[in-house]
Amino acid sequence: MQKDEIKRYIAELLNKGVSLSDIQKQLRSEKGVTMTFLDLRLMVSEIENIDWSKLQPEEKPKEPKKVDPENGVLPDDEDEAIGANDEDAAAGTTVVELSRLTRPGTVANGSVKFASGVKANWTVDQYGRLGIDKATGEPTPQDIKEFQTELQKMLSQGR
């Protein structure tokens, strides 16, 4: 099989929502093409027009939280503390997400929504250098400080 044929086959499977490990198995069993997982990931990074949303697990919509005008958000049950869960972050906070697929040349990457409302993508390379790109605006110095703190927490917890 030629490289272009393999890419078309991979793109077709990805657009159907097939995982990379399953694609690797299918390439070997159905097409007789053996490649390492890293080689497959590198080839996938070269393919354009892939609907990555099909590979992301569906998120259930969250019920809106009850709001007490004097005390802020009320927890759904008594055991839950306000702000104890990162997923329930209130508006106006910095939310950092880690991508499941690591971009080539990076150790980690993802997206961030700053407290100011600016959104961007971030990367950390093998030397520990942090990069921010595709920002929808200019994050404030406070935004950057909060982002670095949240990113450090997330990466130190091994998420």
Q: What is the pLDDT of residues 44-83, one digit of tens each?
A: 888 877 766 665 555 555 555 554 454 444 444 333 322 3
Domain housing 115: 89-156
Q: Would you state the structure tokens that stand for residue 5, as one six-digit string?
A: 């044929």
Residue 114 lies in a domain: yes
Q: What is the pLDDT of residue 62?
A: 54
pLDDT at 24: 92
The model's pTM: 0.42
- 29: pLDDT strictly greater than 90: yes
Residue-level pLDDT at 30 = 92
For residue 104, give both structure tokens: 């080539």
- The whole-number pLDDT of residue 105 equals 82
Report how far residue 159's alpha carbon sits from residue 151's, in angstroms, rounded to the nearest whole number: 10
Q: Is residue 143 part of a domain?
A: yes
Instruction: State whether 47 and 104 are in the same domain.
Output: no
Report the C-alpha dihedral over residues 104, 109, 110, 116, rounded to 10 degrees: -130
As a whole number, mean pLDDT of residues 13-17 equals 86
pLDDT of 32: 92
* Domain annotation covers residue 66: no
What confidence tens digit (pLDDT) does each residue in 83-139 have? 333 443 445 688 888 888 878 888 888 888 888 888 888 888 888 888 888 888 888
Same structural domain for residues 42 and 100? Answer: no
